[in-house]
A and B are shown apart, each in its own frame.
Chain A
């Protein structure tokens, strides 16, 4: 099989490439093929190739996806690929994720207790089974958030964004002792009160982090603390 990939680079320039594909070929595989065979200078971000690192987000045919777990055969052709907005573009499809990380709570843990095999007894050598948090910090939720996008290319309102706020939610859930420290940081117009409840973030998240739900829970916690006793 062959597929037509149309790359719309950050600068606006368009290029079309034809690549050989198979049943399991992903959009990232196709980009790798283009770089190795047709455009050696093509810039895009990638690392793990299995949806764990969160680096390879792009907009494909208008949808925010992780290119490493998106099969080309499931996409309408030509596949139109753009860099993830609203991030600064380093070049071509590669973005700078610095804005995503700027609002995360300091030292929020990326580990959590594992819920897999709940009846299992951990070996005596460890206190309990752990796993990495769901959020892979891919930025798809921020990319689709209408508050941050303002519906177009223009910058939106100041807003910490769904990824960072979800991280606040998870950190407070795991470490209630940090509540007094962390809740005031997000009790602001650019914090949890900046959310317009569009819910797009929860829909697009490939790892079921449900940022909109996390934000709603944080709003409830703030209201409960302020309610007269």
Chain B
């Protein structure tokens, strides 16, 4: 009874706490949804259309975690947990067709045992298939492969899945303001007190008061933190993806080796997407797709799904990943995990930055950030997003009509 009473009191306190979330990508969507469910008064601002930064350009792989199992059991386990949760709360945004990791070389064969042991240790179901068995499930794969490992990978709709989070948050009372950019983070003494924004629809500037400000601007997070006078360790790391016309396979096909360029083919709707490359940049607004990447990705993808090599080109694009930390060369050594910075240490209370993470675990990222905030505010408000079905993405736009 006592804890129930405290929770009710804390929910009442949360309703008076105004949270501004900066960034309308997957991370911002999940934080907005989580905090709104816990009762906070949330506003999200995004300078463009929702998911127009990194989130929407994702190749769409729903990660079972197998790709990360060797080297990062914790992330791998989290991915698998989230695959199961998303299957319950957002099944409409997922093509759940499983995935195959192909052993193409002798080195891959050796790596296979390590890979499967790591998957099992992380709780990821995995099954080794002879190439004949694998071809029965997925005739498009390279028949020269030595064997395949079946894992619960899938494809997510990189636009509609986050939109489901936005739709549900708005239905629960959140305020979402797209085409609105933060110009500065306001403070009084050592506390963040709001943000000044420009609403590009009206070209008017406005101050949005806040008790808490969360910077979830992905690779633009460094720029946003800079508007609060804070130096944030972040490395925007662009990567190229290529789509060819035609759904060449139903299952996600990956190369059974440590992560590298061109090691995955993700079928999606009526396309096949090859990913990815990676380099580093200072400014995520000034990235161009290197034409050399297009040819190399199609060549590498063709080693996994041979018909790719002759498929008709559809699109090539680049997205900047937000990697936590700073690096002078080779972004892949940086953590792919989530980092949450409480900027009290930088002299600004109630201002947080969230960097990193990945599309599959967006809900867990929202939970992690919201748990930290509740702990810092001494509020006992449990997360309920794992058991709350999300509204259809269409509800987001239907609200206005």
Within 8 A of A (CB), among B198-237: 198, 200-201, 203
Say yes or no: A96-B285 contact (C-beta < 8 A), given A52-B269, A90-B179, A130-B95: no
Cβ-defined contact, B291 with A131, below 8 A: no
B286 to chain A, nearest CB (A): 6
**Alpha-carbon gap, A110 to B98, bound state (A):** 19
Interface size class of A (residues with CB under 8 A): 35 or more
Say yes or no: A49-B247 contact (C-beta < 8 A), given A98-B401, A132-B268: no
**Alpha-carbon gap, A116 to B265, bound state (A):** 15
Question: Is the C-beta of A119 less than 8 angstroms from some C-beta in chain B?
Answer: yes
Q: Per a CB cutoff under 8 Å, which of A41, A52, A104, A117 touches B249?
A: A117
Question: Is the C-beta of A177 less than 8 angstroms from some C-beta in chain B?
Answer: no
Cβ-defined contact, A22 with B269, below 8 A: no
| Contact indicator per residue, chain B 233-275, by CB within 8 Å of chain A (1) or not (0) | 0000000010100011111000000000000000111110100
**Contact segment of B3-11, B150-158, B375-383:** B150-158
Closest residue of A by beta carbon distance from B294: A24
Question: Is the C-beta of B137 less than 8 angstroms from some C-beta in chain A?
Answer: yes
Say yes or no: A52-B159 contact (C-beta < 8 A), given A126-B98, A129-B250, A131-B270: yes
| Contact indicator per residue, chain B 278-289, by CB within 8 Å of chain A (1) or not (0) | 000000011011
Cβ-defined contact, B394 with A24, below 8 A: no
Cβ-defined contact, A117 with B250, below 8 A: yes
Question: Is the C-beta of A69 less than 8 angstroms from some C-beta in chain B?
Answer: yes
Cβ-defined contact, A46 with B49, below 8 A: yes
Which residues of B are found within 8 Å of A24, using beta-carbon distances? 289, 291, 294, 316
| Contact indicator per residue, chain A 107-123, by CB within 8 Å of chain B (1) or not (0) | 10111001011011111
| Contact indicator per residue, chain A 147-161, by CB within 8 Å of chain B (1) or not (0) | 000000000000000
The 9 A-B residue pairs with the shortest CB-CB distance in the complex, in nearest-first order: A47-B56, A49-B317, A53-B159, A102-B401, A50-B315, A98-B400, A129-B250, A116-B247, A101-B397
B residues in contact (CB < 8 Å) with A: 48-52, 55-57, 60, 91-93, 95-98, 125, 136-140, 150, 152, 157-160, 179, 198, 200-201, 203, 241, 243, 247-251, 267-271, 273, 285-286, 288-289, 291, 294, 314-317, 319, 392, 394, 397-401
